[in-house]
């Protein structure tokens, strides 16, 4: 049975969708970008239906300022409170023992960074991004930076900031993956630009240790969200594997 649930987060009311099932291990889905909880072409809603039919409750939600949720959209780097609130209400409403969290793109990156605060038991990260939002445009009269391709920008800046600068997102992501105390599986679409950038990131000096902490599984597709028929079947199997691994013996 599918139901809507409202829950508070820092003074805003968020909206989530619970696909109920009898199991005490559940799947929390965190959308990437500014996608609403149903996902691109309702793909996350469809995945939730299939996973719940297999006996695992599933919870999807709109973070602040996205979709049906109130508040201001501050982006994925400010989504820790949203993820914590969603995980908490999911555990309570579905009476869960364990929570596996699945995210795509910057939703995957947010989960890697903030899963400890949300007491997540296992991570399934699809095509995580490794750089933060682009900087604001230069002030009027300032010389603009030379134009460069998006992927080149993503992989070329990793690890290049000065020592006295704030940590780059890549450095924070690497530290989060190395320090994670829960199972971490990264799902990569082999012909997706974001996945290619993530693979490059793992080979950069100082970040390779992050790769030893995770399990990597790849599928030959260019779809960032695994949208094809074969893609969806592969993704479903990977999610079921992660959930079954957390199920009580």
**Residue 159 belongs to what domain range?**
2-133+149-246
Q: How far apart are CA 67 and CA 105, in angstroms?
A: 18
User: If you compute the radius of gyration of the chain from its CA atoms, what whole number of angstroms results?
Assistant: 18
Residue 163 pLDDT: 39
Mean pLDDT, rounded, for 150-178 = 60
Residue 197 pLDDT: 93
Q: Which residue has the tokens 């682009």?
A: 134
**Residue 143 maps to a domain:** no
Residue 206 pLDDT: 75
Residue 248 pLDDT: 60
**Residue 139 maps to a domain:** no
Which band of pLDDT confidence, cut at 50, 70 and 90, is reported for residue 156?
very low
**Residue 144 maps to a domain:** no
User: Does position 147 have pLDDT exceeding 50, yes or no?
Assistant: no
pTM listed for this prediction: 0.86
Find how far residue 16's CA is from the centre of its chain: 16
Q: Domains in the chain: how many in total?
A: 1
**Residue 57 maps to a domain:** yes
Q: How far apart are CA 158 and CA 128, in angstroms?
A: 14
With the C-alpha atoms ordered 247, 107, 20, 218, is the resulting torsion angle positive or negative? negative
Residue 135 pLDDT: 54
pLDDT digits (tens, 9 = 90+) for 99-127: 999 999 999 999 999 999 999 999 999 99
Q: Other CB atoms closer than 10 Å to residue 190's CB: what's the count?
A: 12
Mean pLDDT, rounded, for 137-147 = 44
pLDDT digits (tens, 9 = 90+) for 64-84: 999 999 999 999 999 999 999
Q: HEC string of 125-147?
A: EECCCCCCCCCCCCCCCCCCCCC
Q: How far apart are CA 31 and CA 33, in angstroms?
A: 7
The enclosing domain of 177 has a CATH number of 3.40.50.1820
């Amino acid at each position: 049975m599918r139901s809507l649930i409202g829950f508070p987060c820092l003074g805003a009311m968020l909206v989530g969708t619970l696909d109920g099932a009898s199991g005490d291990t559940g799947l929390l889905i965190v959308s990437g970008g500014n996608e609403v909880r149903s996902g691109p072409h309702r793909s996350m809603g469809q995945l939730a239906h299939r996973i719940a039919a297999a006996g695992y409750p599933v919870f999807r939600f709109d973070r602040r300022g996205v979709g049906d949720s109130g508040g201001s959209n501050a982006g994925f780097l400010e989504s820790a409170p949203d993820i914590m609130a969603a995980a908490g209400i999911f555990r309570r409403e579905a009476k869960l023992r364990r929570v596996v969290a699945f995210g795509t793109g910057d939703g995957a990156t947010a989960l890697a960074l903030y899963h400890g605060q949300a007491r997540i038991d296992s991570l399934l990260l699809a095509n995580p991004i490794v750089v933060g939002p682009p900087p604001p445009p230069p002030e009027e009269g300032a010389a603009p930076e030379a134009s460069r391709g998006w992927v080149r920008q993503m992989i070329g800046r990793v690890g290049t900031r000065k020592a006295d600068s704030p940590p780059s997102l890549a450095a924070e992501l690497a530290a989060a993956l190395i320090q994670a105390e829960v199972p971490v599986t990264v799902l990569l679409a082999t012909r997706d630009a974001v996945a290619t950038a993530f693979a490059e990131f793992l080979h950069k000096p100082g970040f390779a240790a992050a790769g030893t902490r995770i399990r990597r599984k790849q599928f030959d597709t260019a779809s960032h969200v695994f949208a094809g028929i074969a893609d969806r079947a592969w993704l479903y199997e990977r999610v079921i594997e992660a959930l079954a691994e957390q199920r009580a013996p």
